[in-house]
Amino acid sequence: MQREGSPFTGLGPVFIKELSDHLTSVRMMVLTLFVIVFGAFPVASSLQTLRTVVGADAYLYLRIFTIEPEQVPISFITALNFIIPLMAIGLGFDSVNSEFNRRTLSRVLSQPIYRDALLLGKFLGGLMTLAVGLLALWLIVFGAGLLLLGIPPRGVEVARAFGFLLVAIAYGGVWLSVSMLFSVVFRSTATSALCALGMWLFFFILWPMIANALVLGFAPREITTVDQYVGIQQLAIALQRLSPGTLFSEALLGLLNPETRTLGFMLPQQMRGAIPNAPLPLDQSLLLIWPQVTGLIAGMIVVFAAAYVVFQREEVRA
């Protein structure tokens, strides 16, 4: 049965309603608090460290994000790598099945709103909420930097930091679509939350170990040539990159550390003649991290497509 009109009819109201629901919810307050505590603490510590550093640094503002302060052994981006998934899962794990459990889903869909628009509106609403939270955090970081460092950031620093914000939103989008997939698949909100958090824990704790074990399994007994060694290293990196967390941290490394020349494995002879610590131009850094960003965006879309397919085939009447 062919539908009439655009599938996006009703997208706007769903998006607005979802956004207002999120922003006024107690959950959002808790998540915001969570983000501020987790994000502001490393930033404050790194600013303390940076203030004691003497010497010109062309990318001083970017160091706020990347340096590991002395007091807290965690940098801002490590903290974000940890809390963005948590935030995204918290926003998305019950987006569809809670409506179903409250029996409001069929009521909504009886309106002139397609399922497509509902799911996309919910996703975009969650993503927007996430973006608002991250933007606030980003502005806090810059404001604190201005206050405590007393120098304005350069244009290229702002550009790189803005790129960081976009990558962070894309990373949150991946986890948001994952948690929405589970909220579509499972009727119980507890199950979907558990599955999403389990996946998060799997990629954070278990996957690096499994990847190592796989590499050891694939590796020949004795490594005799350089090519073999390079092959094994590349396999290890490729396996690690299946985790969105790895893609996120690599992308941030390329963006916020302009000195980063490559994210992959590199032979010493490729470094011969290279000027150490020479920063890459912004466009080259963007080219460097583009595969990672592509992976994040494409992964987000593919998981969302999967959630869409499942949702379309679901019985919504409770």
Partner 1 sequence: MRRTITLLALLAAPILTAGQVFAADPPKPAVAAAAAASTAPAVPGLWLLTDYPSQTVRPGEATTIRFKLQNSGIAPETLAVSVDGVPAGWKIELMGNGQPIAAAMAPTNDSVALQLRVDVPKDAKPGSQNIVVHAKGATQSIDLPMTLTIGKEVPAKLAIKTQLPSLIGTSKSSFDYTLSVTNDSGKEMTVALAAQSPGNFQTTFTEGYGTNEISSLPIEAGASKDIKVKVRPPQEIKAGDYPVLVKVSAEGATAEQKVTLQISGQGALSLTSKDGRLSGEAQVGKTADYMLVVGNDGTAPIENVEMSGSVPADWKVEFNPKTLPSVAPNEKKEVKVSVTPSEKAIAGDYVASFRAGGRGDSKSADYRITVTTSTLWGMVGIGIIAIALLVLLGAVARFGRR
Residues at the contact surface with partner 1, assessed by CB under 8 A: 1-4, 7, 114-116, 261-262, 266, 269-275, 278, 280-281, 283-284, 286-288, 290-291, 293-294, 297-298, 301-302, 304-305, 308-309, 312-313
Q: Whose Cβ is closer to partner 1: residue 7's or residue 152's? A: 7
Q: Whose Cβ is closer to partner 1: residue 33's or residue 274's? A: 274
Q: Whose Cβ is closer to partner 1: residue 141's or residue 300's? A: 300
Q: Whose Cβ is closer to partner 1: residue 235's or residue 282's? A: 282
Minimum separation from the CB atom of position 169 to partner 1 (A): 15
Q: Whose Cβ is closer to partner 1: residue 71's or residue 284's? A: 284
Pair of tokens at residue 14: 């769903």
Minimum separation from the CB atom of position 21 to partner 1 (A): 25
CA–CA dist 21, 43 (Å, integer): 30
Pair of tokens at residue 291: 């595969």
CA–CA dist 21, 200 (Å, integer): 25
Q: Tokens 């583009």, residue?
A: 290
CA–CA dist 261, 255 (Å, integer): 11
Minimum separation from the CB atom of position 278 to partner 1 (A): 4
Class of residue 76 by CB neighbours under 10 A (exposed 0-12, middle 13-18, buried 19+): buried
Tell which phi-psi region holds residue 283, choosing left (phi > 0), alpha (psi between -120 and 50) or beta: alpha
Q: Are 69 and 48 in contact (CB under 8 A)?
A: yes
Minimum separation from the CB atom of position 86 to partner 1 (A): 25
Minimum separation from the CB atom of position 131 to partner 1 (A): 19
Residues 6+ apart with CB under 8 A from 1: none
